[in-house]
Amino acid sequence: MTSFSAVDVISTKRDGGVLSDEAISWLFDAYMKGDVADEQMSALLMAVFFNGMAPGELRTWTQRMIDSGERLDLSGLTRPTVDKHSTGGVGDKISLILAPLVAACGAAVPQLSGRGLGHTGGTLDKLETIPGWRAELSNDEIRAQLENVGAVICAAGQGLAPVDRRLYALRDVTGTVESIPLISSSIMSKKIAEGTSSLVLDVKVGRGAFIKDPGRARELAETMVALGTAHGVKTVAQLTNMDAPLGRAVGNAMEVTESVEVLKGAGPHDVRELTLGLARIMVELAGLDVDPEEKLDDGSAFDVYGQMIRAQGGDSDATLATAKFHETIVAPRAGVVQQVDALRVGVAAWRLGAGRARKEDPVSAAAGVLCLVREGDVVAANEPIFELHADDMSHIVLGRTAIESALVIGDDTVVPLPMLIERIG
């Protein structure tokens, strides 16, 4: 391989140049061997943050991230494989419903998920509130569960795109997280290495989303769709609204309970709408001629959910943790709910103990916020609008402060924005 130097690679990108395939290959190999220091890689990430990447450059960058580890081989399954990835939102419990629903339609759904950070919740944190449930599975266990049950939600193995963990840790402490090429390569390297044949991306946009500008969200979606397609994965993105929390429950055990309600044919309308919207795309990509709504309403999806939880050691019938302390927040005046700010509700849930500031922080199973009203609702003065749940009063105080301005009441009629904004791909 042609010899490069870290300084030359950094300088090329700093000056707006395009890194060659050989330079990127050398860079990742040298970085994983310790020949490129963290401070040098941090400098390069900052250069990418400011100057972006050309499409071909990003494809190679992503491929080399994939090549840094193993790939999960799902080719032996008798079911078509399809997965979903969300860019993260407040009250986003869709995976818990979607994976068993699409499995009930005949697909294999390998949901390799993560834990929450900041105001957005993590799928594994939610499921770990179920007694006995385990997130860590071997590749053989994943394949067996996909064949026998059709759905698995578990932690990504340490062998999938291992360089991504190191790069993300640097991005987190250097202010370079919000880069579309770096976000795209981080997400797609893991999803491609996961071995799925097709993928739906739920790209959130709005007040509670990682990206709040529709134009940037669309750019992110288009970039990830292009990467997936270039690497042989049928990929579609769906832009979805994250101005308000998704559903009523924001908090780990509370969201599991709400997910089960939807699987039983009840639950909030917006959760059901988004689940079915994504399920229809996934079933389409998997080449299955099945209506997901029928599988949701006839109990098939709920049956698969129970099988999925039990296959990973969980008690699907167990009573989940409830908080010791509760406080009700009431409307300060009568009127029409103009907005329920997803970001502020998410921060409140975090302050109540449902989220973490650092990856190693513990989270409370029972803490969270129950949203009692939606945008457009008419409320009376002193009507309950939020319930705060926490394990102690100190967290209740923190949550109360965080949620003070989450809800705006006015006199104008409000028509909430649609949940499904735009399909890309």
186 flagged as catalytic: yes
Q: Are 163 and 31 in contact (CB under 8 A)?
A: yes
Of the listed 186, 197, 259, 364, which one is catalytic? 186
Q: Show the tokens assigned to 283.
A: 């079933």
Q: Pairing state of beta strands 368-371 and 198-205?
A: unpaired
291 flagged as catalytic: no
171 flagged as catalytic: yes
Q: Show the tokens assigned to 57.
A: 């450059």
Of the listed 64, 93, 143, 171, which one is catalytic? 171
389 Cα distance to chain centroid: 23
Of the listed 59, 85, 115, 356, which one is catalytic? 85
Provide the total of helices (H) and of strands (E) in the chain, helices listed first: 16, 13
- For 367, residues 6+ apart whose C-beta sits below 8 A from its C-beta are 251, 252, 323, 349, 352, 353, 354, 389, 390, 391, 395
Q: Are 387 and 349 in contact (CB under 8 A)?
A: no
Beta bridge pairs of residue 111: 153
Count of other CB atoms within 10 angstroms of residue 131: 14
Q: Are 239 and 215 in contact (CB under 8 A)?
A: no
Q: Pairing state of beta strands 198-205 and 151-155?
A: unpaired
Three-class SS of residue 334?
coil
Count of other CB atoms within 10 angstroms of residue 34: 8
For tokens 């179920």, name the residue.
Answer: 130
Of the listed 83, 92, 125, 164, which one is catalytic? 164
Of the listed 59, 64, 126, 190, which one is catalytic? 190
351 flagged as catalytic: no
Q: Which helix (H) or strand (E) holds 408?
A: strand 407-410
389 flagged as catalytic: no
Q: Are 65 and 164 in contact (CB under 8 A)?
A: yes
Q: Which residues are catalytic?
A: 85, 164, 171, 186, 190
